[in-house]
């Protein structure tokens, strides 16, 4: 898995990088076919913004969150991402079950 963390108008400190990696770990544990992750942290006037693009086979999942506190924004961001990854994983499993069910009907 390729992980890229960058900052716009903010320095990505080792502590911030570790925090993002720790929050990403459960998401990757739920769906092991992640090929790459791009995280962009930015500061625009008084708003802290975090966005992530998760690359999985056949789809890119994009989530963004902004608020007054960057760490709270990162928490909310990865909560949203985790829900989307679980939804995508369930959709893929249901899709494959549907194909198998149709094969049994055809036989």
CATH number of 54's domain: 3.30.160.100
- pLDDT, position 1: 84
Question: Is the predicted pLDDT of residue 91 greater than 70, yes or no?
Answer: yes
**Domain that residue 23 falls in:** 2-106
Residues contacting residue 77 through CB under 8 Å, at least 6 positions apart:
23, 50, 51, 52, 63, 64, 65
Tokens for 27?
Answer: 């998401």
Count of domains observed in the chain:
1
pLDDT digits (tens, 9 = 90+) for 22-54: 999 999 888 888 899 999 999 988 899 999 999
**Arithmetic mean of pLDDT over the chain:** 88
Asked whether residue 78 carries a pLDDT value surpassing 80, the answer given is yes
Q: Taking the alpha carbons of 103, 104, 105, 107 in that order, is the dihedral positive or negative?
A: positive
**Residue 38 dihedral angles phi and psi, to the nearest 5°:** -120, 120
Threshold 0.85, pTM exceeds: no
Residue 66 is predicted with a pLDDT of 93
């Amino acid at each position: 898995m390729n992980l890229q963390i960058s900052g716009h108008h903010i320095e990505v400190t080792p502590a911030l990088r570790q925090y993002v990696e720790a929050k990403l770990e459960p998401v990757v544990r739920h769906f092991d076919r992640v090929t790459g992750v791009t995280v962009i942290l930015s500061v625009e006037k008084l708003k802290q913004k975090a966005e992530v693009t998760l690359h999985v086979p056949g789809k890119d999942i994009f989530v963004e969150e902004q608020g007054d506190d960057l760490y709270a924004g990162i928490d909310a961001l990865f909560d949203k991402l985790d829900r989307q990854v679980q939804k995508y994983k369930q959709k893929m499993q249901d899709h494959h079950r549907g194909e198998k069910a149709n094969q049994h009907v055809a036989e």
